[in-house]
Structure 1
């Protein structure tokens, strides 16, 4: 479902570049930028890791859904956390207000980028490996994506430019 709304929603694994590419896209398009992880932390008054440690990964997912459903804006780049795709309610809401772009990064590249897997505040099961998380989330990201951009071997500026090019080719009003 391609929307003519003006938001760009970036989804993908931790380390795929959602926050960095999001800021670049916001600058290129004169849009506001919303980082879902930061929004959760400011709303809850604690870090993602503290939420996971104190209340568990499922509570982080519930909080993330609630926070994402509270976003009401146009003309923004939105970078929800990597676990946003677990909530069909949140993803369908975001998708109804913009175009969803999956930043696909291969597992090897993600492993090289993510050094703090155990302390990053990820909404993952206690015994879930990064490989398990990757496999589990790939199907979800693919399901919600209007556009998929391979990011493994590209500079972040190249990724942002490709997103704009592909979105405009599909007739999106950015």
Structure 2
């Protein structure tokens, strides 16, 4: 088990990183950190406001700065789906923990993201949801130490599968 290190959850919006992360942290007796909440605390703004006001570049910069600025010894960390656009942020997270990719199908993501406009999801200018999915999958695969399939699984099973994979 990797309990002396962080467990970093990456994956698409709607993959369940925050939900699985909370339950996983409880199960393992670890702290839980959600980087999207850290960004909101740090900026005093909702993710969607940052995207609306500054666009995707501003959001990516703030996300990267937020991740590079925190150092936690033993936490389950749920990251924003766009964290993989920053090589520096991912190197920082990987050096301090094991990266677990919660993998869902495009169809599952689409079904889970009914409220897309208010969720603070980073779509590049002119990018469709499908385009975002196809662009990010290879990045998640590149950075993942472990991959756990989550399509059609309830959160409790996913948590069990993550613990087993670790």
TM-score between both structures, scaled by the size of structure 1 = 0.91
Counterpart contact for 1:5–1:97, Cα < 8 Å = no
Secondary structure, counterpart of 2:77 in structure 1: strand
1:120-135 map, 5 Å: 120-135=119-134
Q: CA deviation at 1:160?
A: 1.1
Gaps of 5+ in 2: none
Contact 2:5 2:73 in 1 (8 A): yes
What corresponds to 2:96 in structure 1?
Answer: 97
Unaligned runs of 5+ in 1: 168-174
Correspondence for 1:109: 108
Contact 2:30–2:76 (Cα < 8 Å) also in 1:
yes
Equivalenced residues, count: 165
1:87 Cα deviation (Å)? 0.4
Structure 2 length-normalised TM:
0.96
> Map of 1:36-75 to 2, 5 A cutoff?
36-75=35-74
Contact 2:20 2:159 in 1 (8 A): yes
Q: Separation in 2 of the partners of 1:30 and 1:48? A: 29
Deviation at 1:5, TM superposition (A): 4.5
RMSD (Å) for aligned C-alpha atoms: 1.2
Please name the residue that 1:142 is paired with: 141
CA distance in 2, matches of 1:158, 1:92: 29
Equivalent residue, structure 2, for 1:8:
7
Q: State how far apart, in whole Å, the 1-side matches of 2:153 and 2:74 are.
A: 25
Q: Which residue of 1 aligns with 2:154?
A: 155
Deviation per residue, 1:56-88 (Å, 9 max, x gap): 111100100000111201110001100000001
Q: Corresponding residue for 2:84? A: 85
Contact 2:99 2:143 in 1 (8 A): yes
> Over residues 84-113 of structure 1, what are the superposed CA-to-partner deviations in whole Å (9 max), with x where a residue is unaligned?
000010001100100000000001111110
Could you give the per-residue CA deviations for residues 32-55 of structure 1, whole angstroms, max 9, x where no partner exists? 000010110110000011001111
The answer on whether the counterparts of 2:3 and 2:74 sit within 8 Å (CA) in structure 1 is: no
Q: Secondary structure in 2 aligned to 1:82?
A: coil
Partner of 1:165: 164
